[in-house]
Structure 1
Amino acid sequence: MSGHETFDVVVVGGGPAGATAATDLARRGHTVLLLDKAGRIKPCGGAIPPRAIRDFEIPDSQIVAKVTAARMVAPSNKEVDMPIEDGYVGMVDRATFDEWLRERAAQSGAERRAGTFERIDRDSDGVALVRYQPKGGGEMVAVRAHAVIGADGARSEVARQTVPGADKVPYVFAYHEIINAPEPGTGTYDPRRCDVYYQGDVSPDFYGWVFPHGPTVSVGVGSAHKGFALRDATAILRKRAGLEGCEMIRHEGAPIPLHPLKRWDNGRDVLLAGDAAGVVAPASGEGIFYAMTGGRLAAEAVEQFLATGDARALATARKRFMKDHGRVFWILGLLQRFFYSNDKRRERFVSICQDKDVQKLTWEAYMNKELVRKKPAAHVKILFKDIAHLLGVVRP
């Protein structure tokens, strides 16, 4: 055995998944190294539901805006408002929110280091040797880890090196611009409403968004079509929303996975979480709540592994996640593949969103992150309405 520094867990990646896992494990008394590539900000609309605020103790100081409605915009420019009854969706800015999460992990006892993950080797006793390049250069560093959590985002290097099939996941490519917020009433902008554009020139297979962030706004688009000009589409969106004159503060782009990996662990001592595990909701692209949930489940699975030495414990993170959220992901995946395929179907999708029953059940499911089963009659009613829309019995 070498003389390298040893940690119970090395968490690679300091986004919502990695920072949550590091916080939970450190609070339980484990030695944790949180390794993060400093300076990276993920393109993200920044929406977090009330359940995330409750479950992960997110203080009001991190909420830069409180949204009380969404507006869906069809290819025909028809607008459908979906008000939230008795609640709100919190909005965060990832530049400050992620850093707050990392600092909370440090205050909980995790050690923070800035560096770039390179590879995992094995020490003479078989324990993982995590090698990384420190920020600013210098010699590569190696630390021992009894367990590794790979939370280093889409196209995770930890996943690519350790988990078979991790490189086979399809992606949506997202791009957004953070701009100075205009005065309320400029163009179609409302600081308490998220606008979602389902229009083929904005995105041929996903959507565009205008999400308020208090003093700023996130304007962006996503698409899985290679060669689709995301920046040009964002410029179209800004003009359409009346925001072309707003100053841009920064811009980011990154791939977003389309569905969860079939396996999240290497069967030995590595477990994936967040985008590295593919836990971004289809259709909506929502990732913060699911990343933090995945990070928490990863922490619990790793703690069980450390206590028992049984690597089968690592697989419980995915099993538990899919049990709670797999059905929602499956439904959203079907919705995205069908309704986002052309403008005619997008028009019908927005038309369906006019229905008050659809709105109520959609918000209840989103806010609480679970399917609403207590109103079977409403579900049957919605089913028949949806079929009527799909068959063209109801005109958009």
Structure 2
Amino acid sequence: MDPTFDVVVVGGGPAGATAADDLARRGRSVVLLDRAGRIKPCGGAVPPRAIRDFAIPDHLIVARIRSARIVAPSGRQVPMPIEGDGYVGMVDREAFDEWLRGRAAGAGAARRTGRFERVSRDTDGMAVVEFTPPDGTLARLRARSVVGADGALSAVGRQCVPETRRTPLVSAYHEIVRVRPGTPDYDGARCDVHYDGRLSPDFYAWVFPHGDTASIGTGSARKGYAPREAVAALRRRIGLEGAETVRREGAPIPMRPHRRWDNGRDVVLAGDAAGVVAPASGEGIYYAMLGGRLAADAVEALLATGDARALAGARKRFMREHGRVFLILGIMQWFWYRSDWTRERFVKMCGDPDVQRLTWESYMNKELVRAKPVAHVKIFFKDLAHLLGLARA
């Protein structure tokens, strides 16, 4: 008979590795199944709350971001410094993800390398995860529960959670380049965000420092969009056209949480597979790790009680904590990113001190700031003025 485990986690990114680590630390028998050599295109931003909540060690932080610079289609630049001694950590996903997988293995999760094929059912009805290891054979693992953390185009989700609706996707692409010391107009402690229809017609382009390298990327949901050409144009614009390219990566990014994350029996989704990437910003690492933790909690409840309704708790808890933020960010992206006219006004709005303060506080702590209602009212009317074109751009 095939070996039986409490949990098989499919996908070894931040969501899957976190779920595997949490469940292994609870004494569950866990297999973490991941494809070899896959690195997701990602700016690598990790807010302070993620560092605290998930015990991310200092050596994985390759840069500390103290400010952002927002660039409009006209070339207008708006600085957004972080107050006090706060910072956003930057990680290199190649090293970061592997460290997370290693931590899960250290907690007792068994690692397997291979391509997920399908979830079938044994004669007793138990889930069987079938995958193809590097030797090309077909391997099988019996599982009391399955966590699907295998990305935006999740094969686990497509097969096991048919209620999962089609989610809008942004095709993201970036190039990791080596940055020489003294490069003009480049600051290793600053993220640059370009809102420009020539670089992305409906999203944004970025330059995110990673120590001696930088992630230069862009994304769009438009068909026919050419991200490589856009990144080449951005590199020319910032003077890094001739910099050494370390690697190139591309992948879809979901822009909306799925309506359902579980099959009502023994499978639950997490991370990109569940659609939890923030609209407007495209931020995913914190939300992926949180989704992995919530999936682990739901699986633990299932294994402890046998009640499959516990799996729905992962999505319920996530949406209760962050659904409002996702709704607001989705509205922002729909309106402000649709033309260079609106992008120009959005960048001007980002120069407002109240907007900057509440933006950073909400981002760093991953919650809406409720302690300053007067500031929220001020921002509402300022935002309305920009939206109606009453504020001068």
- Normalised by the length of structure 1, the TM-score is 0.98
Unaligned runs of 5+ in 1: none
Deviation at 1:206, TM superposition (A): 0.1
Q: Does 1:321 align with 2:318?
A: yes
Q: Give the match for residue 41 of structure 1.
A: 39
Instruction: Answer whether contact 1:172 1:222 (CA < 8 A) is retained.
Output: yes
Q: C-alpha distance in 1, partners of 2:3/2:114?
A: 16
SS at match of 1:249: strand
Q: Give the match for residue 120 of structure 2.
A: 121
Per-residue displacement from partner, 1:91-147 (whole Å, max 9, x unpaired)?
00001100000000000000001011101111111100110001232x201110000
The partner residue of 1:169 within 163, 167, 175 is 167
Matches within 5 A, 1:98-113: 98-113=97-112
Q: Give the match for residue 142 of structure 1.
A: 140
Q: Does 1:281 align with 2:256?
A: no
Q: Give the match for residue 77 of structure 1.
A: 75
User: Counterpart of 1:84 in structure 2: which amino acid?
Assistant: I
Per-residue displacement from partner, 1:347-393 (whole Å, max 9, x unpaired)?
00000000000000000000000000000000001111111122222
Runs of 4+ deviating beyond 6 Å: none
Q: Give the match for residue 343 of structure 2.
A: 346
Q: C-alpha distance in 2, partners of 1:159/1:187?
A: 46
**Paired positions, count:** 392
Q: C-alpha distance in 2, partners of 1:203/1:84?
A: 26
The partner residue of 2:52 within 43, 51, 54 is 54
Q: Give the match for residue 130 of structure 2.
A: 131
Per-residue displacement from partner, 1:196-253 (whole Å, max 9, x unpaired)?
0000010000000000000110000000001100000000111111111211010000
Q: Give the match for residue 9 of structure 2.
A: 11
Q: Does 1:296 align with 2:293?
A: yes
Q: C-alpha distance in 1, partners of 2:311/2:73?
A: 45
Instruction: Answer whether contact 1:155 1:167 (CA < 8 A) is retained.
Output: no
Q: CA RMSD in A?
A: 0.8
Q: Give the match for residue 309 of structure 1.
A: 306
Q: Give the match for residue 239 of structure 1.
A: 236
Q: C-alpha distance in 2, partners of 1:231/1:129?
A: 40
User: Counterpart of 1:344 in structure 2: which amino acid?
Assistant: W
Deviation at 1:56, TM superposition (A): 0.2
Bigger drift between 241-250 and 11-20 goes to: 241-250
SS at match of 2:114: strand
Percent identity (aligned)? 68
Matches within 5 A, 1:225-264: 225-264=222-261
Per-residue displacement from partner, 1:313-359 (whole Å, max 9, x unpaired)?
00000000000000000000000000000000000000000000000
Q: Give the match for residue 210 of structure 2.
A: 213
Q: Does 1:182 align with 2:180?
A: yes
Instruction: Answer whether contact 1:51 1:368 (CA < 8 A) is retained.
Output: yes
Q: C-alpha distance in 2, partners of 1:305/1:369?
A: 28
SS at match of 1:281: coil
User: Counterpart of 2:99 in structure 1: which amino acid?
Assistant: W
Unaligned runs of 5+ in 2: none
